């Protein structure tokens, strides 16, 4: 008599192994997305700290530069890197060496981001109409979270609801270009969040 496993026993073992691997992959993905979301929140807090330092020195936050055609990606807006400008009047290099970028959405060059598709990037918006003179007295930093728990609803999102909160409605005409769902507000003489 031969010793061995029956086909049924093998199928049961393979099925159990498959279920365990599926559960492990799901858990891994959940932990990884939570980790990326925590990185995003930490990155925005880092940028916020630097913006407050900048505003303390300059009595204004950096205004959104519309030379790039409303590319609101934080790396561009706070580095002056896509505007063709040679001035170092923003955050780099005096305030921060590298503007953090989303863990899943890295920028290689200016053409990576188009005005009509800024999904997944960190965004920087300054208060007021960017085409007007004057100081920016407030700002919003935005990111796209993967987990539902900390996302803001579209009703509370100035890019989606047409709100005049800090006059961000100037950006609303391009709302299909954005999917950001987490926001940090800041401003002179006001608390953020």
Q: Report domain extents, the chain.
A: 7-187
Give the pLDDT band (50/70/90) at residue 84: very low
Q: To 10 degrees, the CA torsion angle through 191, 123, 101, 137? A: -40
Rounded CA-CA distance 74/9 in Å is: 57
CA distance 180 to 33: 16
Q: Are 150 and 129 in contact (CB under 8 A)?
A: no
**Average pLDDT value for residue range 129-155:** 80
**Over the stretch 149-183, which tens digit does the pLDDT of each residue have?**
877 776 666 666 555 554 554 555 566 667 788 88
Question: Is 125:183 a contact under the CB 8 Å cutoff?
Answer: no
Mean pLDDT over residues 107-135, rounded?
Answer: 73
Q: Which of 28-32, 117-121, 135-139 has the lowest mean pLDDT?
A: 117-121
172 by DSSP, 3-state: which? helix
The rounded distance, in Å, linking the Cα atoms of 159 and 181 is 10
**Which one has a higher pLDDT value, 146 or 2?**
146
Q: Tell me, yes or no, if the pTM score tops 0.95.
A: no
| pLDDT at residue number 121 | 86
Residue 110's CB is within 10 A of a number of other CB atoms, namely: 16
């Amino acid at each position: 008599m031969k010793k061995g496993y029956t086909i049924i026993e093998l199928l049961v073992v393979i099925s159990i192994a498959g279920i365990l691997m599926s559960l492990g992959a799901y858990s891994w993905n959940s932990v990884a997305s939570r980790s990326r979301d925590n990185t995003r929140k930490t990155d925005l807090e880092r940028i916020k700290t630097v913006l407050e330092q900048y505003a303390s020195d300059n009595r204004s936050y950096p205004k959104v530069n519309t030379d790039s055609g409303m590319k609101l990606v934080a790396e561009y807006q706070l580095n002056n890197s896509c505007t063709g400008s040679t001035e170092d009047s923003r955050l780099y290099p005096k305030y921060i060496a590298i503007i953090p970028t989303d863990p899943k959405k890295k920028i290689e060059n200016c053409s990576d981001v188009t005005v009509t598709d800024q999904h997944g990037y960190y965004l920087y918006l300054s208060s007021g109409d960017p085409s007007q003179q004057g100081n920016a007295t407030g700002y919003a930093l935005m990111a796209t979270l993967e987990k539902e728990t900390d996302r803001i609803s579209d009703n509370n999102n100035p890019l989606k609801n047409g709100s005049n909160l800090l006059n961000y409605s100037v950006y609303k005409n391009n709302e299909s270009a954005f999917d950001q769902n987490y926001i940090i507000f800041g401003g002179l003489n006001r608390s953020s969040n």
